[in-house]
Structure 1
Amino acid sequence: MAKTLGPVRRKFSPWNDPTAKPLIEFRNVVKRFGDFTAVDDVSLGIYEREFFALLGPSGCGKTTLMRMLAGFEHPSEGEIRLAGASLAGKQPYERPVNMMFQSYALFPHMSVEKNIAFGLVMDKMPKGEIETRVQEMLKLVKLEKFAKRKPHQLSGGQRQRVALARSLAKRPKVLLLDEPLGALDKKLREETQFELMDLQQELGMTFLIVTHDQEEAMTVADRIAVMDHGKLIQVAGPSEIYEQPNSRYVADFIGDINIVEGRVTAIDGGLIRMEAAAPRVSIVMEDDAATSVGATAWMAVRPEKVRISHDAPIETGVNAVHGEVWDIGYIGDTSVYHVKLDDGGTFRAAVANVSRTVERPIGWDDRVWLTWSKTAGVVLTA
């Protein structure tokens, strides 16, 4: 049986070690295209053996940041360093990085093995070493039986593996992945995400992936940098990004969430009380957010942390709102209820479908109560 990677992933956190030095450093990097600032004063460290994700919507600057590391673009200001050395003035082929493009960019007239060998041939590696390395790569991505085929004779997933093997063949210090799974269907994409994780751990390499797919970033990455308008908004591990977003932007961008605006009316012993206008409700949250009485703040809670019931809550100390089921989304493993609240706005609750029942205990137009605990969400101040 293959050795589990769990202990490796659980213990890996060099960013928490003040003595650890990043492998990749972006120092106050700015990139302008005319009057447009694509990357705005980004400082970031990525560590050796880390699987790091740059996440954000189209146009946020994530691909530009990766292209500057690869050498296809150059910073307007700031510096990029790799293994302690500046990359300024170095051409892409002089950098110990390799990039796997979203389009895969395979040579249609070459076989799988010749596609994989291409970079090694360009580097004038001895023929015997090339053959050995290609066989290693074919075995690594489980394509030994397809070595003589052309790209058009392969499935989308197989072409993706060829592109990955070609990128790894030169054994770069860093592998750059630009939306690498975007062309795959959902099921294959999910399977390939776990294969990428296992491969990265097996090779002991540093992977940097650019993606707009939140689930993909949350699945594969040790840490995620959420970007918007060229800036880093939050850099943290997947669980912290999801459970402790630092702003409404991150909370709203990552997954589904309910956000309610209110005014802070009391702060006492780690409890923050807010009064919201829509819905008209008093909310109590256990949070250490830096806010003050009278300030505007936002309560954010994930739908899966919201309970839905026909009955009014009998326990004390819970937050509760009342409304009518407006819509229901059945997603197989989960049902998502959109509830139109009596005091304005819409709230969402997600319920795991743990039984095979077809009849819903709660249906359209039902009057329901939604409740959540003091520790279920977070208080946001920005």
Structure 2
Amino acid sequence: MSSFRQNPSVGAVRRTFAPWADPSATPLIRVEQVTKRFGDAVAVDHLSVDIHDREFFCLLGPSGCGKTTLMRMIAGFEQPTAGRITLAGRDLAGVPPYRRPVNMMFQSYALFPHMSVEKNIAFGLRQDGLPKDEIAARVSEMLRLVQLESLARRRPDQLSGGQKQRVALARALAKRPKVLLLDEPLGALDKKLREETQFELMDIQHELGMTFIVVTHDQEEAMTMADRIAVMDHGRIVQVATPGEIYEQPKTRFIAEFVGDVNIIEGKVMGQEGGLWRVATASAEAPFTIDDPDEVLEKGQGVAIAIRPEKMTIRRGAPEPGTMNALTGEVWDIGYLGDWTVYRVKLASGEIMRISRANASRFVENPIDWDEQVTITFAPDAAVILAE
């Protein structure tokens, strides 16, 4: 282990819940070599994944990657072309949606416009023939959970977008399914309300001890809410890991570029010195020194180096002699975002590097300006080597 790695944890600490790390743990849902074809088009391609009881699991990926199709197969609205899906050990093949211990909350919410909030929530319970007293108790519990007690008698057209979302969530939870499926649940909300609702969903999931599976293309949404994220591309899962691992240790260039902002620099492996990789690039005069022990590389191998903008530093002038991992260039653009300032620096090679600096102080003396010559640096353990 090199001296640059002080803390073995990856990302911020979330919670001790991690059944996927226990070899003896039995997953609640098992998706085994599932393929789904629509004619000649393959939506899901030999996909396997395990999802555990009480896990907040997220399927993340661009449009058309197969994430919604996978969710619909778990719900029973689509049947796999090949492979199988089991829930609590039971094969779901041929089991209709209404016979599965699963409920789904759609992006459109699909509320009944002529019914009040409480009647919308009670609808599924009445369909199941539950006693009136039990229905009333369940509805009251759901109204409290989503904080809509005072709006129980309003109709959907008298509610805001966020309130409608809560009604749809309460209706989906009222039947107490083992698994709640949420398809882009926050897509219709504005940014501030979406951020607030993310934490509310986390609190509700934790309080109920239920398994949530969310489909989204919003990386920030997935990173905030999920215990684990499955990043999908072209019908396959590219990586399944915690948010911290997905962001800090992406397995592929696709993941590095899809999740968050990243700078990618092409290079060739020169070898190892003291356990650190040396990588030559056209972007810098001296080879980079990279601390990435997870990669097994060969001399002369082409690689991509990924560095997140917030892990790079920027200062005026040329680098001092012996400065490690230094790039020089000219400030091309500056974006002030309130909490962060983003610098876009053009290197002599023509590449544009993006550097983020936290605005910890309200005032900055003599700030870096457009067209200034600057040096960019990063620590050896700030970069990830991507061999594919």
Asked whether the two chains share a fold, i.e. TM above 0.5, the reply is: yes
Question: What's 2:15 paired with?
Answer: 10
Between the aligned partners of 2:118 and 2:136, the Cα distance in structure 1 is: 9
Q: 1:293 aligns with which of 292, 295, 299?
A: 299
Question: What's 1:241 paired with?
Answer: 246
Q: Is the 8 A contact 2:29 2:52 kept in 1?
A: yes
Q: How does 1:193-208 map to 2 (within 5 A)?
A: 193-208=198-213
Q: 2:270 aligns with which of 236, 242, 265?
A: 265
Query: How big is the alpha-carbon RMSD for the aligned residues of Structure 1 and Structure 2?
Result: 1.4
Question: What's 1:152 paired with?
Answer: 157
For 1:300, the aligned partner's letter is A
Q: CA deviation at 1:279?
A: 5.2
Between the aligned partners of 2:15 and 2:322, the Cα distance in structure 1 is: 37
Question: What's 1:308 paired with?
Answer: 314
Question: What's 2:255 paired with?
Answer: 250
Q: Which moved more, 1:24-33 or 1:355-364?
A: 355-364
Q: CA deviation at 1:368?
A: 0.6
* Deviations 1:209-263, CA, capped at 9 Å, x for gaps: 0000000000000000000000100000000000000010000001000010111
Q: Is the 8 A contact 1:279 1:345 kept in 2?
A: no
Q: Is the 8 A contact 1:53 1:209 kept in 2?
A: yes
Question: What's 2:387 paired with?
Answer: 381
For 2:113, the aligned partner's letter is P
Q: Is the 8 A contact 1:317 1:373 kept in 2?
A: no
Q: CA deviation at 1:127?
A: 1.3
For 1:305, the aligned partner's letter is K
> TM-score normalized by structure 1?
0.96
Matched, 1:111 2:111: no
Question: What's 1:183 paired with?
Answer: 188
Matched, 1:28 2:33: yes
For 2:115, the aligned partner's letter is M
Q: CA deviation at 1:343?
A: 2.5
Between the aligned partners of 1:264 and 1:56, the Cα distance in structure 2 is: 31
For 2:300, the aligned partner's letter is G
Q: CA deviation at 1:358?
A: 6.9
Between the aligned partners of 2:321 and 2:347, the Cα distance in structure 1 is: 21
Q: 2:130 aligns with which of 125, 129, 137?
A: 125
Matched, 1:101 2:106: yes
Q: Is the 8 A contact 2:290 2:380 kept in 1?
A: yes
Q: CA deviation at 1:357?
A: 2.2
Q: Which moved more, 1:83-92 or 1:354-363?
A: 354-363
Q: Which moved more, 1:349-358 or 1:285-294?
A: 349-358
* Shift in CA distance, 34/153, structure 1 to aligned 2, threshold 3 Å: same
Q: Which moved more, 1:192-201 or 1:337-346?
A: 337-346
For 1:235, the aligned partner's letter is V
Between the aligned partners of 2:337 and 2:365, the Cα distance in structure 1 is: 15
Q: CA deviation at 1:47?
A: 0.3
For 2:45, the aligned partner's letter is D
> TM-score normalized by structure 2?
0.94
Give the fraction of aligned pairs with identical amino acids, expressed as a percent. 64
Question: What's 1:329 paired with?
Answer: 335
Matched, 1:318 2:333: no
Q: CA deviation at 1:118?
A: 0.6
Following superposition, which runs of at least 4 residues in structure 1 exceed 3 angstroms of deviation?
278-281, 311-317
* Deviations 1:304-361, CA, capped at 9 Å, x for gaps: 0100000334474520011100011111100110000013211111000111127761
Question: What's 1:4 paired with?
Answer: none
Matched, 1:209 2:214: yes
Q: Is the 8 A contact 2:283 2:348 kept in 1?
A: no
Matched residue pairs, number?
Answer: 375
Unaligned stretches of 5+ residues in structure 2: 1-12
* Deviations 1:88-118, CA, capped at 9 Å, x for gaps: 0000000000000001000111100000001
Q: Is the 8 A contact 1:29 1:76 kept in 2?
A: yes
* Shift in CA distance, 168/340, structure 1 to aligned 2, threshold 3 Å: same
Matched, 1:48 2:62: no
* Shift in CA distance, 318/358, structure 1 to aligned 2, threshold 3 Å: closer
Question: What's 1:5 paired with?
Answer: none
Q: CA deviation at 1:122?
A: 0.7
Question: What's 2:3 paired with?
Answer: none
Q: Is the 8 A contact 2:307 2:382 kept in 1?
A: yes
Q: CA deviation at 1:10?
A: 1.9
For 2:154, the aligned partner's letter is R
Question: What's 1:344 paired with?
Answer: 350
Between the aligned partners of 1:299 and 1:124, the Cα distance in structure 2 is: 59
Q: CA deviation at 1:269?
A: 3.5
For 1:48, the aligned partner's letter is D
Question: What's 1:58 paired with?
Answer: 63
Question: What's 1:3 paired with?
Answer: none
Between the aligned partners of 2:208 and 2:166, the Cα distance in structure 1 is: 15
Between the aligned partners of 1:136 and 1:312, the Cα distance in structure 2 is: 64
* Shift in CA distance, 261/330, structure 1 to aligned 2, threshold 3 Å: same
Q: Is the 8 A contact 2:56 2:226 kept in 1?
A: yes
Q: Is the 8 A contact 1:99 1:176 kept in 2?
A: yes
Between the aligned partners of 1:11 and 1:198, the Cα distance in structure 2 is: 16
Q: Is the 8 A contact 2:284 2:326 kept in 1?
A: no
Matched, 1:354 2:360: yes
Q: Is the 8 A contact 1:279 1:344 kept in 2?
A: no
Q: 2:24 aligns with which of 8, 19, 31?
A: 19
Q: Which moved more, 1:242-251 or 1:307-316?
A: 307-316
Between the aligned partners of 1:10 and 1:258, the Cα distance in structure 2 is: 30
* Shift in CA distance, 83/317, structure 1 to aligned 2, threshold 3 Å: farther
